[in-house]
Amino acid sequence: MEGVERAMRVSVPYKLASREYHPNDTLVALNGSKAGANKVLVIAGPCAVESREQVIEVACMVKEAGATSLRGGAYKPRTFALQLSGTREEGLKWLVEARERTGLPIVTK
């Protein structure tokens, strides 16, 4: 094919993720627990951080339900990569407050 220098057949599907290539479990530390260590870690929360009250209320509900982390988007990407909306820095402050109240680690974008 014009423009193709070389083609190589993949010998094993999902080679980089296979046990043949990477035999050990991948463990990700999260607040004293490890994802991938025969334990399910639940990360829950709103898609978008909309208000302080919303985030704190949801954080308390997430903690009570047994989740291991709170997630919420403070920055919402748009079509153009540098164009973001959302509560931004204020939303991050609310997430920090929710973390301080509940002890849940935060996952955000």
Q: Is 103 exposed, middle or buried (0-12, 13-18, 19+ CB in 10 A)?
A: exposed
**How is residue 103 written in tokens?**
């002890």
pLDDT in tens, 56-107: 999 999 999 999 999 998 887 666 666 566 788 899 999 999 999 999 999 8
pLDDT in tens, 32-53: 878 887 878 899 999 889 999 9
CATH architecture, range 15-107: 2-Layer Sandwich (3.30)
Q: What is the pLDDT of residue 83?
A: 59
Nearest to 90 by CA among 105, 75, 77: 75
Q: Domain boundaries in the chain? A: 15-107
Q: What is the pLDDT of residue 82?
A: 63
